[in-house]
Amino acid sequence: MHSSTALAKPRQSLIVRFLKQWQIQVMALCGIVFVLAFNYAPMFGIVIAFKKADYSVNLMRSLTEAPWIGWDYFKEFIHDYQFRDILLNTIGLNLLQLLINFPAPIIFAILISEIAHKRFKKIVQSITYFPHFISWIVFGGIIINMLSVETGVIVSALLKLGIISEPVSLLGEPNAFWPLIIITSIIKGLGWGSIIYLAAITSIDPTLYEAATIDGAGRFRRIWHITLPSISGTIIVFFLLSVSNLLNSSFDQLWVFQTPLNLERSEVIDTFVYKIGITQMRYSYTTAVGLFKSAVALILLVGGHLISKKIAGRGIF
């Protein structure tokens, strides 16, 4: 094919071959220029975490002229009165999301695939995919309305069920924040998250199930021995993706539900960086905080890898 035609000709110099393929080189270099500007330049910008470049707006000037300050900003963050809460919330919320929101769509996809009634299946899918298409702002706004003490449906339902004894504002209750985040992300994302697993399940050879049924396997054994192993490849790929994204909180979601009253359970590194960094223009300090987050994520990843290797004999990667 292509390589054979190239071999038939005498070997040309690299420059000649490069110039001959200038069209695809231009196309490829467009991508390279883009990532250099928008991905690599910010990586070099990390240097300002170790420089006193706060309140300065010019990146180039900050990089070259600002005085070095060492680890001072890292120390400042560790001594911040909110530090413990922020670290706990960032790690806790993300681990919880990983533990609950990762397996949930797999279970949901299996439940849907067990429905024989085509119409019902379609209705369930249309309804549960829908919230994915509306923003967290809109969805959060809707939930906030439902949580209203006077007019919302949730507080009066909880009162009737006897779960709470008097009307409370759940948004102002710090301990209600984590459950709120988990429950709302399940409602919004479960249907959409299941699509990929559902696609994997539909591509399983149906004769496998038939053979298993003849051999006397019940429903749960078929799920356990056929469905799950068949989609394990997809599961692993998506698990790796969510693990590599471990500490990147869903900013939009947290931002809608965050109120001054629930800060002690809702403030995470991402929201803190926005507030202090952008609105108060403390660029160097919050760059250091962001870098701290990446370091924690790396430690968690390597730690998790080592632990799972020790216990299960297999690492994350």
Partner 1 sequence: MATKRFDLFTICNYAFLAIFCLVTIYPVYFVLIGSFNDGNDYMRGGIFLFPREFSLANYQVVLQDDRLYTGFKISILRTVIGTVTSVFFTAMVAYAMSRKNLIARGPYYWIHLITLFFGGGLIPYFLVLKNLHLINSFWVYVIPTLFSVFNMIIFSSFFREIPEEIHESATVDGAGDFRIFLALFIPLSAPVLATVALWNAVGHWNSFFDAMIFTTKGDLMPLQLFLMKMIREADVISNSQYVPPQVQKKISVQTIRMAAIMISTVPILLVYPFLQRFFVTGFMVGSLKG
* Closer residue to partner 1, CB minimum distance, 74 or 255: 255
Measured distance CA(70)–CA(284) in Å, rounded = 11
Shorter beta-carbon distance to partner 1: residue 61 or 84: 61
Closest CA to 176 of 103, 101, 259, 116: 259
Q: How far apart are CA 163 and CA 151, in angstroms?
A: 18
- If the CB atoms of residues 68 and 313 are measured against partner 1, the closer one turns out to be 68
- Contact segment (CB under 8 A) with partner 1 among 72-80, 85-93, 186-194, 303-311 equals 186-194
Between residues 65 and 252, which has the closer beta carbon with respect to partner 1?
Answer: 252
Residues within window 77-136 making contact with partner 1, judged by CB under 8 A: 111-116, 120, 122-136
Residue 165: helix, strand or coil by DSSP? Answer: coil
Contact of 50 with 70, CB cutoff 8 Å: yes
Region label for 313, one of left (φ > 0), alpha (ψ between -120 and 50) or beta (otherwise): left
Interacting span for partner 1 (CB under 8 A) from 80-88, 172-180, 267-275, 302-310? 267-275
Q: Which of residues 39 and 312 has its CB atom nearest to partner 1 in the complex?
A: 39
Angle subtended at Cα 235 by Cα 229 and Cα 239, rounded to the nearest 5 degrees: 145
Least distance in angstroms from the C-beta of 303 to partner 1? 17
| Residue 203 touching partner 1 (CB under 8 A) | yes
Q: Which of residues 70, 75, 175, 252 is near partner 1 by CB under 8 A?
A: 252
261 near partner 1 (CB under 8 A): no
**Segment 59-78, which members bind partner 1 (CB under 8 A)?**
59-60, 62
**152-171: contacts with partner 1 (CB under 8 A):** 153, 156
Judged by CB under 8 A, which of 187, 211, 302, 306 binds partner 1? 187
Residue 195 interacts with partner 1 (CB under 8 A): yes or no: yes
Q: Which of residues 279-298 bind partner 1 (CB under 8 A)?
A: 283, 286-287, 290-291, 293-294
Instruction: Please identify, using beta-carbon distances, which residue of 212 and 312 lies nearer to partner 1.
Output: 212
What residues does 51 pair with on adjacent strands? Answer: 68
> Judged by CB, which is closer to partner 1: 142, or 307?
142
Contacts to partner 1 from residues 27-46, by CB under 8 A:
27-28, 30-32, 34-35, 37-46
Here the tokens at position 123 are 């209705």
Q: Among 78, 99, 100, 146, which residue interacts with partner 1 (rule: CB under 8 A)?
A: 146
Q: Which of 273, 281, 243 lies closest to 255, judged by CA?
A: 273
Task: Name the minimum Å distance from CB 272 to partner 1.
Answer: 11
Half-sphere exposure of 40 (CA within 13 A, CB side): 7
